[in-house]
Amino acid sequence: MSRSRIAIAVAGVGAAMVALTACGGTESNVTEDGLTTVTVGNMNSNSLTFPLLVAQEEGFFADAGLHVETVDAVSGPELTAALIGGTTQIAVGTPENVMPAMAQGQGLVAIPPFGQLDMSLITLQDSGINEVADLVGKQVGVVQRGSFSEKFARSIMVDHGLDPDSVTYIAVGAGATMEPALRNGKVDASVGATSTVALLDQHGLAIRNLANSLDETGGEAGEFGMQTMWTTTVDYREQNPEIAEGFCSAMNRASDWIADDANRGAGVQLMSTLLAVPQETAETIWDRTHLSWKYRIDDEKWNRVADWVLEDNETGLPYADYVSADCGEKQ
């Protein structure tokens, strides 16, 4: 990401902070059951935050002595802004929003679990586009310009020996607005998460998958890509180590629970409820994503993602300074 794009990203976070911090911050307190309350920024009805729902429903937070209150946001910048402003104490985050804020000295630290990049480059089966090379001269829908979805599409083009600027990238938003753009031919292809692709299929669109970050067609981005992390501030982690440890421990238990095939039935039901989709659609999403969350990432993966996001930032984000690798470490 160019310095100008970093500035824009952080400016977006700053603008969101004005609105969110007006609500005031919240301090941890103890419930009648003796649980310590922690306020967590969440993206409602989004499979990327699935471990949070599992940790709630399976009682993992309660086991860790925590009562989690969620504050829902509709975008990554809102989530990061609320965390920086003190409206929340922990939040889900995306590298494209969190890392520029880190680079600007906002005092954030990444904690587990870390979600693998979940993106597919898709087209309609009757579009006449049968492989990535057929995209040259076409229009590709992305969530927004400069977003991870565009970076993924560009990466796939490069992996296939093509000029990433040989296609036109069109901002079409997420699933609700992406569908009509694809259905009505406003774009020739699009980039979406597994949950988005499953919903398109549910709505009767016959989809051809050109590249997917979760299988061997995702190229370099599929190898190192990371879509989500959980975040807190350095100050909060230092001042509330037991709360941070408890949160990480509960979320790591949730990740293990999701990865266990024995929990598929219960997990599909939770996924169906979270996304408000039929069980059959939830099964598709579960089968493709339930191994997506990792307890730990190494410095190589972190550095490659940071380089991808920040591009010409020369200082980078040293792993030891920005990743709380031992948070909730399993004994």
* Assigned fold of 3-117+225-322: D-Maltodextrin-Binding Protein; domain 2 (3.40.190)
Interatomic CA distance for residues 109 and 21, integer angstroms: 20
pLDDT in tens, the chain (331 residues): 443 343 434 444 444 443 443 333 444 488 888 999 999 999 877 888 999 999 999 999 999 999 999 999 877 888 999 999 999 999 999 898 899 999 999 999 999 999 999 999 999 999 999 999 999 999 999 988 888 899 999 999 999 999 999 999 999 987 778 899 999 999 999 999 888 888 888 888 999 999 999 988 998 888 888 999 999 999 999 999 999 999 999 999 999 999 999 999 999 999 999 988 899 999 999 999 999 999 999 999 999 999 888 876 677 899 999 999 889 875 4
Cβ count within 10 A of residue 171: 16
Q: Look at residue 313 in the predicted model and tell me its pLDDT.
A: 66
Predicted pLDDT of residue 311: 79
C-alpha 139/C-alpha 118 separation (Å) is 21
Residue 27: the pLDDT is 45
Q: Write down the pLDDT at residue 198.
A: 86
Per-residue pLDDT, 188: 97
pLDDT value of residue 216:
86
d(CA 152, CA 123): 15
Give the DSSP letter string of 296-330. ---HHHHHHHHHHHHTT-SS---HHHHB-TTTT--
d(CA 60, CA 55): 5
Question: Radius of gyration of the chain from Cα atoms?
Answer: 19
Angle subtended by helix axes 95-103 and 148-159, to nearest 10:
100
**Confidence (pLDDT) at 206:** 93
- What does the pLDDT read at residue 123? 96
The yes/no answer on whether domain 120-221 falls in CATH 3.20.20.70 is no
Distances 254 to 62, 68, 70 between C-alpha atoms, Å: 13, 14, 17
Q: Where are the domains of the chain?
A: 3-117+225-322, 120-221
State the pTM of this model. Answer: 0.84
For 29, the 3-state DSSP assignment is coil
Model pLDDT for residues 163-197, shown as the tens digit of each residue? 999 999 999 987 778 899 999 999 999 999 888 88
Distances in Å between the alpha carbon of 99 and those of 116, 189, 247, 256, 323? 16, 28, 21, 26, 11
Q: Go through the chain and tell me how many residues it has.
A: 331
What amino acid is encoded at 135 in this protein? L
CATH topology identical between 3-117+225-322 and 120-221: yes
Distance CA 206, CA 52 (A): 32
Nearest residue to 308 via CA among 108, 126, 48, 119: 119
